[in-house]
Amino acid sequence: MLKKSFENVRKNCPLIHNITNYVTVNDCANVLIACGASPIMSDDQDEVAEITTICGGLNINIGTLNCRTIGAMLIAGKQANELHHPVVLDPVGAGASRLRTDTAMQLLEEVRFAVIRGNISEIKTLASGSGTTKGVDADVADKVTEENLDDVVAFAKAFAKKTGAVIAITGAIDIVADAENAYCIRNGHPMMSSVSGTGCQLSAMTAAFVTANPDHPLEAAAAAVSVMGYAGEVAYSRLGEMDGNSTYRNYIIDAIYHMTPEMLEKGANYEVR
């Protein structure tokens, strides 16, 4: 099913509206192009409803919040819901400030999401309404390990049932869950944490995958997470002695550009629980 999900992205070329943060906006656009989709970046309240209407899916990322973009997120999210377009939420840094946490909670209350993707601390903040993160990174106490994997899977399934969304928790072990099933994905490389915005890129790509596979959001989100993780492995294998995190970022996008559904099928490392 992961292979088919990727094939549908390449075949359908979904147009994705992104209200995302200005730290990674260019990388998000390029990763959408690399996976076979097309990006539009628009965050002005006077046009977001119109832009959402012409797109197939919406990616909302709260990484660089301000009062103007919060209103735009709500307008676009509600318009997407009316049109039955899938919406992805990336609650970057939820728990780090009251503004971020309150905005994420307001979005959850007023917009219906197909997928919510974040690190474990961000997702726990959404589930509880409060929390702590290390800036935009997961708190060390929240790290997903083999020892606590069963508990995190159960948490993800419960939050998926509560929200009606697929929950994607990314980290050393990625968990993508609906109320019944969870993909535990072990692709990726530790160096990915040295690149600013791999999570933002993944959320944009997840929007493309769920838009191209509207009847299978769980498998589509799992495919997107697997693509990003496998690309991180492929990119790392290309690094030379003088290459660093900037080259690595570019190699990740290149790996997605050259990846085929058949390569994903062979390279994806996951189990379903």
> pLDDT tens digits for 61-98?
999 999 999 999 999 999 999 999 999 999 999 999 99
Q: Look up tokens 């906006």; give the residue.
A: 25
Tell me the mean pLDDT in the region 238-257. Answer: 97
Closest of 86, 88, 155, 151 to residue 127, by C-alpha: 155
Split at pLDDT 50, 70, 90, the class of 146 is confident
User: Is residue 113 classed exposed, middle or buried when 0-12, 13-18 and 19+ CB atoms within 10 A define those classes?
Assistant: buried
Amino acid in the structure at residue 215: D
Tell me the mean pLDDT in the region 163-187. Answer: 97
Residue 199, pLDDT score? 95
Tell me the mean pLDDT in the region 164-189. Answer: 97
> Does domain 2-272 bear CATH number 3.40.50.2300?
no
Distances (CA, A) of 137 to 3, 6, 119, 256: 30, 28, 7, 24
Q: How far apart are CA 240 and CA 243, in angstroms?
A: 5
Alpha helices in the chain (DSSP H): 2-12, 25-35, 48-54, 67-82, 98-110, 120-128, 149-163, 198-212, 217-238, 245-258, 261-267
Q: How far apart are CA 121 and CA 195, in angstroms?
A: 19
38, 16 Cβ separation under 8 angstroms: yes
218, 198 Cβ separation under 8 angstroms: no
> pLDDT tens digits for 118-133?
999 999 999 987 655 5
Higher pLDDT, 136 or 9: 9
Query: In 3-state terms, what secondary structure has residue 144?
Result: coil
Calculate the dihedral angle through the C-alpha atoms of 153, 179, 9, 260, rounding to the nearest 10 degrees: 30
Q: Look up tokens 């990484």; give the residue.
A: 63
Residue 112, pLDDT score? 98
Residue 253, pLDDT score? 98
* Domain boundary assignment for the chain: 2-272
Residue 262, pLDDT score? 97
Q: How far apart are CA 43 and CA 18, in angstroms?
A: 8
**DSSP character at residue 137:** B
3, 45 Cβ separation under 8 angstroms: no
**Contact residues for 204 (Cβ-Cβ < 8 A; gap 6+):** 16, 18, 20, 28, 29, 31, 32, 39, 59, 61, 88
Per the prediction, the chain carries an average pLDDT of 94
Residue 36, pLDDT score? 98
Residue 129, pLDDT score? 77
23: left (phi over 0), alpha (psi -120 to 50) or beta: alpha
Split at pLDDT 50, 70, 90, the class of 144 is confident
Tell me the mean pLDDT in the region 2-22. Answer: 97
Q: What angle do CA 246, 92, 6 make, to 5 degrees?
A: 70
